[in-house]
Structure 1
Amino acid sequence: MSAPVWRALVVEDEPAMRDIITFALETQDFETVTAGTAETAWSIVSEQQVDLVVLDVMLPGMSGIELCRRITSTKAVPVILLTALGETSQRIAGLEAGASDYVTKPFHPRELALRAAGLVRRSPLREGAVAQSGPVTLDLRSATAYVRGKRADLTPHEYRLLAALVTHPDEDLPFRQLLLLGWGDAQPLGGRELLKTAVYRLRLKLEAVDPAARGCITSVRGVGYRYSAGPGSDDG
């Protein structure tokens, strides 16, 4: 077997199925990392670089659909959903959440592996996709942020908040959505005050790198926060 070319995250709560998928992917030049829950998978995606996520829809706790939505809203990573045969609603929901493809159970492991390899080969995301708006540029694969070419030293929470805002420019993102994307919990300990403090520190860090970032993140009273490419006023 040749050395791994790509890295795939397999999210499946059934150990036997997880082993089948990982073995099949490894025959197609994938190195694999696994998770049995969406929460564990979210931690991996947030902290490590992966080229593909193979994601079972039916997971304990957070659903695969919700995890797919989180991943695709903050990372340039293709997602293949595994759905039960005949569950059309799940497939539609997954595609709406940003999935690149889906495979229905039961499936042939080799077919899944070949489709996974083909998807990564064709995907422009493996070229090192970036998101850029105004002075801020995000390297979505390495989870790093730059202000006019100079790197900002952000915590994982701060990066995820910035990624959510920059990839939805000129949109009012509600508190709940930002908490969910930043901490994986819509009601973490500290709630809105936790978010407010994180945004305050994020603003300071961006402006310290380059004053051009001043005013890009503004608060929307009673709603949440907004990112704009140009400077704007802020009310706290």
Structure 2
Amino acid sequence: MADALPLAFVVDDEPAMLDIVTFALETQGFQQRAFRSGEALWAALHTTMPDLIVLDVMLPGVSGITMCRRVKATYEIPIILLTAKGESADRVAGLEADADDYVVKPFHPRELALRAQRLVRRYDDSSRSTAGPFELDPAGDSVLVDGVRVMLTPSEFKVLSAFISRPDETVPFDELLLAGWRSAGLLGGREMIKTTVYRMRHKIEDSRPGRGQLIESVRGTGYRLITR
């Protein structure tokens, strides 16, 4: 869904702060999900992939710094840390844990929202867009295959983007569901992927007749984009 609103996960154990952050993000066109702990965030990441995480440093149980490091070791998701005023050690530790930005409390909600918007846009612009004969159109509606433009639906574009980010590797079904529909647990998800890949494969093959298959099924696991 190319026109879907970006999704932000907001993690803070203070209800008032959760309200401030979620409202600020809403003003800049974000969907939001709120969590009170790092453990709850981690569990959610197994089924839904956000475009951004806003993460408080001071959390019960697992700290925001530890959670930031854990998320960054596994996922490519931009993270903004919320830190207490004057706690420079927290800010340094957060940046060492690969946080992309930090905002000091108290903060102006609009500043946070604009930083979030800019960060998500930067990640989108820097994402891989070429592999082998494929070049994704930044407009999000087509791909060039050996220079020939192939028009794609929003879900086809997102699934192909997931392939292009991992050329010649098997991309599992759950990752493709996260890429195309933001959820790994959709009812009938594998059939949705199979249908999407089937349509996309035929579009690509029709654009380059007689030149072989570029999207290969890996039995029981997922699909692989062939670029070699």
Same fold, TM exceeding 0.5?
yes
Task: Look up the match of 2:77.
Answer: 99
How far 1:225 moved relative to its partner? Answer: 0.8
Q: Measure, in 2, the Cα distance between the counterparts of 1:114 and 1:183.
A: 27
Q: Measure, in 2, the Cα distance between the counterparts of 1:137 and 1:184.
A: 23
| Cα distance per residue 1:113-144 (max 9 Å; x no partner) | 389659949x9657676511111112356464
Task: Give 2:68's aligned amino acid.
Answer: R
Task: Look up the match of 2:89.
Answer: none
| Secondary structure in 1 matching 2:157 | helix
Task: Give 1:181's aligned amino acid.
Answer: A
| Alpha carbons of structure 1 residues 227 and 70: separation in structure 2 relative to 1, 3 Å | farther
Task: Look up the match of 1:208.
Answer: 206
| Alpha carbons of structure 1 residues 196 and 17: separation in structure 2 relative to 1, 3 Å | closer
Q: Measure, in 1, the Cα distance between the counterparts of 2:53 and 2:202.
A: 38
| Cα distance per residue 1:80-121 (max 9 Å; x no partner) | 632342333311123232234431255232599389659949
Contact 2:53 2:79 in 1 (8 A): yes
Aligned with residue 107 of structure 2, among 85, 88, 109: 109
Contact 1:57 1:81 in 2 (8 A): no
| Secondary structure in 1 matching 2:144 | strand
Task: Look up the match of 1:26.
Answer: none
Aligned with residue 174 of structure 1, among 172, 195, 204: 172
| Cα distance per residue 1:116-175 (max 9 Å; x no partner) | 659949x96576765111111123564642223333221222111111111101111122
Task: Look up the match of 1:75.
Answer: none
Q: Which runs of 5+ in 2 are unaligned?
A: 12-17, 85-104
Aligned with residue 87 of structure 1, among 64, 82, 89: 64
Scaled by the length of structure 1, what TM-score is found? 0.60
Across the aligned residues of Structure 1 and Structure 2, the Cα RMSD in angstroms comes to: 4.2
Contact 1:131 1:166 in 2 (8 A): yes
| Alpha carbons of structure 1 residues 36 and 191: separation in structure 2 relative to 1, 3 Å | closer
How far 1:184 moved relative to its partner? Answer: 2.8
How far 1:213 moved relative to its partner? Answer: 7.0
Count of residues in Structure 1 that have an aligned counterpart in Structure 2: 190
Task: Look up the match of 1:63.
Answer: 44
Scaled by the length of structure 2, what TM-score is found? 0.62
